[in-house]
Structure 1
Amino acid sequence: MSSTLEKTFATREQAELAVEHLVQELGVERTDIFVTAQGAQNSSGEAASGGDAPAVLESGREDAALAGGITVSVDVNDAGREQAIRRAFETASGA
C-alpha cells in the first residue's frame, strides 16, 4: 500500500537537510521526494537561513523570498520505512 508523508519546514536549510537524510541515509529515490512552497508564492521559508541569510560582514540584506514554509513530501511504498522517514523529518526540523 502506498502512502505519502509530508512535513513543512520553516527554512529552506531544514528542507534541504531533510532531503539529504532521506536520500543519503535512507536510500529514498529522489524521484519519490517532492519539495514545494507551502503557499502559492515562491518561498525560501519563513525565516532566512543558509544562503538566504546575510553574510557576517553584510548588512541590510532582505532579498530572501520569505512567503511561508517549505513542504517536503515522500511517496512511501513500504510501511516499514514510514517511522524512519518521520524521524528524518523531525531530525531535520530540529525537533
Structure 2
Amino acid sequence: MADDSKTTITATFETREAADLAVEHLVQQHGISRVDISIRSATDRNTAGAAPSGGDASHDDGFRRDAPLEGEIEVLADIASSQVAAIRRSLEDAGALRVSSR
C-alpha cells in the first residue's frame, strides 16, 4: 500500500530571489503544483528578505532604499511525505537557511 500522507515543508531564505529559485526547483524538479506552494514573510513585517538581491539591488550603491528588508522569507509547500528527504536537499541546494516539516 502506498503512503499518500501529506506533509508541509517550510524553508527559510535570506532573500526573495533565493525563495523564488526554490519555488522553481519545487515546480520543475519535483512536480509540485504552484497551488500547493506559498511564500510569506517569516515575521509579521512586510519584507523582500533580509538582504538585497535581484531587483532590490541597484547599480549605483548596491541596493535600493525603498525595498523593505525587514526579515527572512519562508517558502511552504504541501508535499507527499515520501518526498521530504529529496525536497529538503533541493531547498538546501537553493540556499535555505533552515528547513523543517510537520
State yes or no: 1:50 paired with 2:60: no
What does residue 74 of structure 1 align with?
77
SS of alignment partner, residue 87 of structure 1: helix
TM-score (norm: length of structure 2): 0.83
Task: After TM superposition, give the deviation of residue 26 of structure 1 in Å.
Answer: 0.9
SS of alignment partner, residue 51 of structure 1: helix
- The percent of aligned pairs where both chains have the same amino acid is 45
**Aligned partners of 1:6 and 1:74: how far apart in 2?**
7
Question: Aligned Cα RMSD in Å?
Answer: 1.6
State yes or no: 1:8 paired with 2:18: no
Structure 2: stretches of 5+ with no match in the other structure = 98-102
| Over 6 Å off, 4+ runs | none
Task: After TM superposition, give the deviation of residue 12 of structure 1 in Å.
Answer: 0.5
Task: After TM superposition, give the deviation of residue 61 of structure 1 in Å.
Answer: 3.1
Q: Which residue identity does 2:86 align to in structure 1?
A: A
What does residue 85 of structure 1 align with?
87
TM-score (norm: length of structure 1): 0.88
What does residue 33 of structure 1 align with?
37
Q: For residues 51-86 of structure 1, give each alpha carbon's deviation from its aligned partner in whole angstroms, at most 9, with x where no partner exists.
A: 11112xx2373221101000001111x222111110
Does the C-alpha gap of structure 1 residues 31 and 9 become closer, same or farther in structure 2, counting only changes over 3 Å? same
More strand by share: 2
What does residue 67 of structure 2 align with?
64
Q: Which residue identity does 1:34 align to in structure 2?
A: S
User: How many residue pairs align between the two structures?
Assistant: 92
Structure 1: stretches of 5+ with no match in the other structure = none
Task: After TM superposition, give the deviation of residue 40 of structure 1 in Å.
Answer: 1.2
What does residue 100 of structure 2 align with?
none
